[in-house]
A and B are shown apart, each in its own frame.
Chain A
């Protein structure tokens, strides 16, 4: 059962553009929505996360937009750089269960 859906599967943008990665979820009890990034040959690492008390979370060039009513959240990467090229995973979690991960988006930023 896929509780977190992620799109697109792959995304290519030019340096300087904004990359937009999307996720949706089903379980309304989820209360923590992180994004992880994974560079080739490395393990996933937390990039940014949001709780549903907010509809926006910013950290430098990275912003999460959260829509509780539609059960959707997205990661916007402004001024994309070639060094941002990686696979990005969204996830959702509540206090009682293991996290649910999306299938990942492979982002390529062309110089």
Chain B
């Protein structure tokens, strides 16, 4: 079974600060994804990647950057965090079936 881990699991950040969310998968999937989940909006795609060195913009990329330095790792970077980015963030891997990580709860004060 695919294993996707995320760190940190919880994060409190200050407005204007830099936040990096990390994701690691051990199933050798080419595709990885970052979503945010807010009540009433379901899962919204922020960035995704087809493999090491590639990143693609999803539906709501503004205010976020992504980095895929290796097959296993995919990071989401908030250069200047804002309170509107308070949310639960899920990383996922897989081509068709999505294997989700446990999520990171981010609060920006």
Contact = CB atoms under 8 A, between A and B. Distances in A.
Interface of A: 1, 6, 32, 34, 36, 42-46, 49, 89, 91, 93, 95, 98-99, 101-104
A44 B98 contact: yes
Interface of B: 31, 33, 35, 40-43, 45, 48, 56, 58-59, 90, 95-98, 100-103
Given A6-B42, A42-B102, A99-B33, 5 more contacts: A44-B43, A49-B96, A98-B56, A101-B42, A104-B43
B40 A103 contact: yes
A34 B98 CA distance: 9
Contacts of A93: 96
Nearest to A3: B59
What DSSP secondary structure best describes chain B's contact surface?
Answer: loop
A45 B90 CA distance: 12
A99 B32 CA distance: 11
Closest CB pairs A-B (n = 6): A43-B100, A103-B42, A101-B43, A104-B42, A32-B96, A98-B48
